Amino acid sequence: MINAEDAQFHTPDSGQTNWAETNFFGFYNAEEHLNIGVYALFRTNLGIVSSTICMNSGQATTPWHADYCDYQAAMPIPSPRNLLDYRLDNGLHVVCLEPNSVWKIDFDDDAGTRIDVTYRAIMPAFDIHDPDMDPMVSLHADDFSWGTAYNGHFDQTGHVTGSVTLRGRVIPIDCISTMDHSWGPRPERGSPNMSWLHAHFSRDLAVHAIFSFDPEDNGRQLSLTHGYVVERGRVFGLKAGTGEVVRHSDRYAQTVALELVDCDDRTWTLEANGLTTFPWQCWPNMTSFNVLARWQCQGLTGFGEIQDFFELPQLTALNSRAMTRHLPIIEE
């Protein structure tokens, strides 16, 4: 169960220099196809924090093709340390107004790009380690905690309102979206693959799910590890689910088909079409192939982000094998 104190920094494992605590807030303007991600990763035992602020509305295949990118690493963690109110050197200021419920997110790069939004939860924090919330904990012996990075982790869907200013152009934000908070040792090599995605149809219906996949078949088949349906304020943990992904040659999800079963034995069928592409380099050695997608479910249309995580050494190995398969045979 997630408690109010879990909104604050957790005591890191002694001697674990790779201990990390994260905040992620994602939101979008569906009409503009503009997807925004605000991320902070605190290496509390090292005293440093990295942060990425990204905005993208098109088919970006490199960070510099996006509408906006600011990646900064090794900034000092502000003192006194307070995850309920922190201001970073990159211009990000996050205030938790109600623990695990309401956050105010502000950003100003002093060059015409700003964020001014408020996130308000429409559900309790979903603890992936709590069997009372997440049926996958008791149904499956194999625990998926993204290595150890999700030793503590919750996902939560909420209503985000406000605006972003992109080099002087003001864009309104009024959407249902999903955030997360994680803590635990997070090495920069060896994490399993993960697809972290969600579909938001209204305040009355949203779906969030985490899947594992085999990179050898390019993540075509998805296998549920955690997730929920939030319907009219009630949370229904997912107990089974599969997915099939058709990807571009560069691994971005083009279409996704999901079949999910919740704790009330209801089956949910969802289909997505990718609208954007963006390579999010969330920390060294890791790239997430991000897509803002349009989702269909039960005659409803919604929007949400698909994040498919591959490590760079893994990608170079996969690409090398693909190139080898297509090399011409040279006869002596």
User: What is the per-residue pLDDT across 222-235, written as a single tens digit (0 to 9) for each?
Assistant: 999 999 999 999 99
Contact criterion met (CB below 8 Å) for 43 and 17:
yes
Residue 300 belongs to a domain: yes
Residue 154 belongs to a domain: yes
**Range of the structural domain that residue 145 is part of:** 21-325
Number of structural domains (the chain) is 1
Locus of tokens 């075509």: 220
Residue 90 belongs to a domain: yes
Residue 16 belongs to a domain: no
Residue 12 belongs to a domain: no
This prediction's pTM: 0.95
> What DSSP letter does each residue of 106-167 carry, written as one string?
EEE-SSS-EEEEEEEESS--EETT-TTT-HHHHH-SS--STTTTTSEEEEEEEEEEEEEEET
Residue 332 belongs to a domain: no
Contacts of 142 (CB under 8 A, 6+ apart): none
> What DSSP letter does each residue of 164-227 carry, written as one string?
EEETTEEEEEEEEEEEEEEEEE--SS-PPPEEEEEEEEETTEEEEEEEEE-GGGTT-EEEEEEE
Residue 7 belongs to a domain: no
Q: How far apart are CA 256 and CA 309, in angstroms?
A: 16
Residue 203 belongs to a domain: yes
Which tokens sit at 308? 């498919």
- pLDDT per residue, tens digit, the chain (332 aa), is 999 999 999 999 998 999 999 999 999 999 999 999 999 999 999 999 999 999 999 999 999 999 999 999 999 999 999 999 999 999 999 999 999 999 999 999 999 999 999 999 999 999 999 999 999 998 876 688 999 999 999 999 999 999 999 999 999 999 999 999 999 999 999 999 999 999 999 999 999 999 999 999 999 999 999 999 999 999 999 999 999 999 988 899 999 999 999 999 999 999 999 999 999 999 999 999 999 999 999 999 999 999 999 999 999 999 887 655 544 444 44
